[in-house]
Structure 1
């Protein structure tokens, strides 16, 4: 997954972060920069979680996108729970 390069991470992270913020209903609170950060952080989180059971590195662009999306949704869910408390 790290083989995507810097711009690959920005593109996939931005898209995954934006879609995750739409799914979690936080899009109005986030800008493009935060969407990218959430997507990239989500990619790391998703990669760590899925890497325990699957070969994440050879998944390609689509698998990387869904890994980022899964991690970003999880990250936004955790942040939402922490903010409520």
Structure 2
């Protein structure tokens, strides 16, 4: 997957995860991209661990995997902040 694809998937996934976690008002576009890219790694790692495939390209499945990972990342981050 190209660098641009990672940014696009990261932006979409980070934005969706920030909406689901209620952090959207606190986060900017760059934070959404970073959270989404970290989420892609987290989601991909978890899915590969249980036998699936992670982020494979610029497609809906990859966005869903990255969003899942980004949501988990934000959840843990919010718990650590408290």
TM-score normalised over the length of structure 2: 0.91
CA-atom RMSD in angstroms: 1.5
Give the corresponding residue for 1:24.
21
Regions of 4+ moved over 2 Å: 55-60
Task: Determine which of 28, 32, 35 is the counterpart of 1:35.
Answer: 32
Q: 1:71 aligns with which of 45, 69, 72?
A: 69
Aligned to 1:81: 79
1:54 counterpart (52, 55, 64): 52
SS at match of 1:70: helix
Q: Which has the higher helix share?
A: 1
Is the 2:56–2:62 Cα contact (8 Å) retained in structure 1?
Answer: no
The total of aligned residue pairs comes to 81
- Structure 1: 5+ residue runs without aligned partners? none
